[in-house]
Structure 1
Amino acid sequence: MNPLHDTLQNTLQVIDNLVWGPPLLILLVGTGLYLTIRLGFIQIRYLPLALSYVFTSKHRTKGDGDISSFAALCTALSATIGTGNIVGVATAIKMGGPGALFWMWLAALFGMATKYAECLLAVKYREQDANGQMIGGPMYYLEKGVGSKTLAKLFAFFALGVACFGIGTFPQANAIVDAAYLSFEVPKEYTIVILTLLVATVTLGGIKSIASVASKIVPVMAGFYILACLLVLTTQMHALPEAVALVISSAFTGHAAAGGFTGAGIMLAIQSGIARGVFSNESGLGSAPIAAAAAKTDSCVRQGLTSMTGTFFDTIIICTMTGLTLIVTGAWQSEYAGAAMTTYAFASGLDSSYWGPLMVSIGLMFFAFTTIIGWNYYGERCITYLFGVKAILPYKIVFLVLVASGAFLKLDMIWLIADIVNGLMAVPNLIGLVLLRGVVISESNIYFEQLKALTAKKTQRAL
């Protein structure tokens, strides 16, 4: 045992608990709740309209931008749909019991309003870089909207840290290498070489290449994983009503996961559900707006609506599928945790020690790969803001080196550092959302009034 290592890790754990403690969670959910009320429950009233934009904007090229609105959404989803959907949900339910899933739903509901607001602002305040590409995100609306370069640089610095030393590299590369070895017995060295080459091939081509790959892989991988979950839920259909009832009742009674004992406390269910939910869908963290800023669109509100569906797909659909699979199979009460718990759920649900784990491994590999390429782009935009376009190529080389080294590093301390920086990047972004709330509300009112007038004209013509 290394005393210095243990002391440092304990210190980081304390900092991590403080960063992701009640104040940040209250700020995240509180911002979403405020925007939900002020925008008239936009995520419910206009969800059908937002979904129609998603499925009709694939080939829409109207307005300035580098990629389609659909491709921008897929790029954002490539970074958010990741190991958190498999490992994070299992961790939340293990810590806080089935009730944690309910609080994930609630965080996602309010998070949709937050995602709408931040992506609206990203398009409104975006600009072109020296290479002629659209660039935007919290660093730009913090500088141009709020008027604070300090907050803008803090966000860019923290987000760059997450891209290089957290979500974007080490844990994802490690998950891919482990999954390939456990399921297909592929040596780590082979996997990491192939992975690094694939990441280089995709990311060196810039946003158009990343978006092209993301718009092809994301729908397929999400569909594959949802189908796998549905297979399990179908075989356990008799337990589904009881599982849903358990989720709702446990949310207010604090039913603990470990051993099925009661008494974990309602606060543990709330904190586990909200923290893991936000970690998965990234609403309020400020990452998705960076991708939204590249969209070809003539309306910041339209892109905000399109982007908010990312939280719906990530948490309301995919995390729910994972959570219910863990509950109906009884895996949440097993001795397993994390990815092992989800693997156990699929193995028992499909009554197969081969196909169940294989589905989880394939899902993990695809989810982790797309998270890498999504966060590569986020880091690129942040490095461009801080140091200009000349820093893009050196950044990409360093990023590839970090991905290549990810399989051979111990992750305990790195995960803590990543978690801390991930939480810190949310703080300047949320400050910006609060200060620019008037802009969000004004732009929304103008858009929906125009939409209402246009609908009325169409109705009159039809009559």
Structure 2
Amino acid sequence: MEQVSQFFQAVNTFLWGPPLLILLMGTGIYLTIRLGFLQVTKLPLALKYLFTEDPEAKDLKVDGDVSAFGAVCTALSATIGTGNIVGVATAIRLGGPGALFWMWMAALFGMATKYAEALLAVKYRVTDENGQMSGGPMYYIERGLNNKFLARCFAVFGIGVAFFGIGTFAQVNSITSAVEISFKIPVIVTGIVLTVATAAVTLGGIKSISKVSELIVPFMAAFYIVGVIVILVLNAAQLPATVALIVKSAFTGHAAAGGFAGATIMIALKSGVSRGVFSNESGLGSAPIAAAAAKTRSCVRQGLVQMTGTFFDTIIICTMTGISLVITGVWNDPALEGAAATTAAFRSGFGAVPMLGELIVTIGLIFFAFTTILGWNYYGERCTEYLFGVKGIKTYKYIFIALVAVGPFLKLNLIWTIADIVNGLMAIPNLIAIIGLSGIIVAETKQYFDELEMKEKEKKKAIA
């Protein structure tokens, strides 16, 4: 088993070396420049679109399976999960507090990437044999880049992430671990309940998954954020020093990581970017699969809506977890890892009522991770449909449910290593496609905002 673990670790180290980190960050920076920092200048508009219905979507003839809000909730259900609670703890343990800074950078530029891939997903989506919308990188790679080989590679890697990465093992293991720590419920019992619940929702398809996501995701995100705000208020005196430590460690490294400064900076950057991608999935190519199901006629509008997912996931929720770990000092305890570290941080942060802090992490983790399982079930289903047609969907779902059942019994370190590997493989063809189709992304964006500006001028003339 040790040799297997070492093999996967070697593959992970090679895959997540400088080339992939440069490709991920470079794509985001390149798009940011070409789109004129759209993720900053258009964020208020994107948030407005998130909470207001597309006027054209009221027309029943508009293509799509779920509302624009439902599509982003489905995407958020897949992104807000263990990456926000366990992944942040893992990143900070490996790279020190500076890893959180690099997560912010990955998210900032990742918002431009998320916008671009969602735009392409809606533009190139198709309707499958069951009448459902299918879209995502496999379609814009094939129909936009005219490259079936890369499209199939993406679909295969996408199924791999659903089966062995973000979709099953990491989520299931984290849920069963947290429940055992907090409620002393045996792993096997939680595993059975989780498997049954997953089967009950996922067999209903995208509409069922979307309804559950719309209900759970906003409520649990607010619940978790309020919990962290309590910690920050109770530990307000340490907040300035905590933020200073995070920024300083990003550029100087930290003694806890060991080695010389250059190595620690690289570890912080690698941990922050890889865990950031695991959490918000910008560049991975997963969220556009959900975006393609949205009832909208505008690919730009849906791109803006999907972009907010990275903002909420990493800039807000991952930051909440990271600051809690650093402000309480728990990040520097070598005896704690994963869910146990975040749980300890919340227990410490809540002072006189530690059990309340523990309860917030456990409940948050259960629901975040469960909705991630649901979202990734859908992503893998669409990749399966692309490769094998609708006839392969049932077999895929049965295998997925079986993997959820075995997830609780795998080791944490090996799980995260496998997840990193399949994530990296999935990102490569998607990023190649985004760069190759960047001209179309820029043209669609310019046309949309030119038309929007013209409409605004006409409104002002009408009022005058």
Change in CA separation of 1:417 and 1:270 when aligned onto 2, cut-off 3 Å: closer
How much does 1:415 deviate?
3.8
- Partners in 2 of 1:263 and 1:44 — Cα distance? 31
How much does 1:264 deviate?
6.0
How much does 1:333 deviate?
2.2
21-30 or 324-333, which deviates more? 324-333
State the one-letter code of the partner of 1:438.
Answer: G
Aligned counterpart, 1:427:
428
Aligned counterpart, 1:134:
133
Alignment of structure 1 residues 91-170 onto 2, 5 Å: 91-170=90-169
Do structure 1's residue 417 and structure 2's residue 412 form an aligned pair?
Answer: no
- Partners in 2 of 1:332 and 1:61 — Cα distance? 49
Aligned counterpart, 1:402:
403
State the one-letter code of the partner of 1:432.
Answer: A
Change in CA separation of 1:58 and 1:88 when aligned onto 2, cut-off 3 Å: farther
Give the unaligned 5+ runs of structure 1.
none
Question: TM-score by structure 1 length?
Answer: 0.95
State the one-letter code of the partner of 2:22.
Answer: I
Secondary structure of 2:36 counterpart = coil
How many residues get paired?
459
Do structure 1's residue 16 and structure 2's residue 12 form an aligned pair?
Answer: yes
Q: Given that residues 257 and 332 in structure 1 are in contact (C-alpha distance below 8 angstroms), is that contact kept between their aligned partners in structure 2?
A: no
- Partners in 1 of 2:262 and 2:137 — Cα distance? 40
How much does 1:179 deviate?
1.9
- Partners in 2 of 1:193 and 1:95 — Cα distance? 32
How much does 1:136 deviate?
0.3
How much does 1:256 deviate?
3.9
Aligned counterpart, 2:285:
286
How much does 1:416 deviate?
2.6
How much does 1:413 deviate?
3.7
Change in CA separation of 1:21 and 1:263 when aligned onto 2, cut-off 3 Å: closer
Alignment of structure 1 residues 164-179 onto 2, 5 Å: 164-179=163-178
Question: TM-score by structure 2 length?
Answer: 0.95
How much does 1:129 deviate?
0.2
Aligned counterpart, 1:436:
437
Do structure 1's residue 372 and structure 2's residue 388 form an aligned pair?
Answer: no
402-411 or 78-87, which deviates more? 402-411
94-103 or 372-381, which deviates more? 94-103
158-167 or 407-416, which deviates more? 407-416
Secondary structure of 1:251 counterpart = helix
- Partners in 2 of 1:256 and 1:264 — Cα distance? 11
The match for 1:54 among 50, 54, 57 is: 50
State the one-letter code of the partner of 1:371.
Answer: T
Give the unaligned 5+ runs of structure 2.
none
- Partners in 1 of 2:54 and 2:355 — Cα distance? 37
Between the two proteins, what is the percent identity of the paired residues?
63
Give CA deviations for 1:114-149 in whole Å, capped at 9, x if unaligned.
000000000000000000000000000000000011
Aligned counterpart, 2:346:
346
Q: Given that residues 27 and 113 in structure 2 are in contact (C-alpha distance below 8 angstroms), is that contact kept between their aligned partners in structure 1?
A: yes
- Partners in 2 of 1:325 and 1:109 — Cα distance? 21
Q: Given that residues 170 and 407 in structure 2 are in contact (C-alpha distance below 8 angstroms), is that contact kept between their aligned partners in structure 1?
A: yes
Aligned counterpart, 1:188:
187
Aligned counterpart, 2:32:
36
Secondary structure of 1:342 counterpart = helix
How much does 1:411 deviate?
4.8
72-81 or 341-350, which deviates more? 341-350
Change in CA separation of 1:408 and 1:327 when aligned onto 2, cut-off 3 Å: closer
Give CA deviations for 1:4-34 in whole Å, capped at 9, x if unaligned.
x333322221111111111101000000000
- Partners in 1 of 2:54 and 2:169 — Cα distance? 32
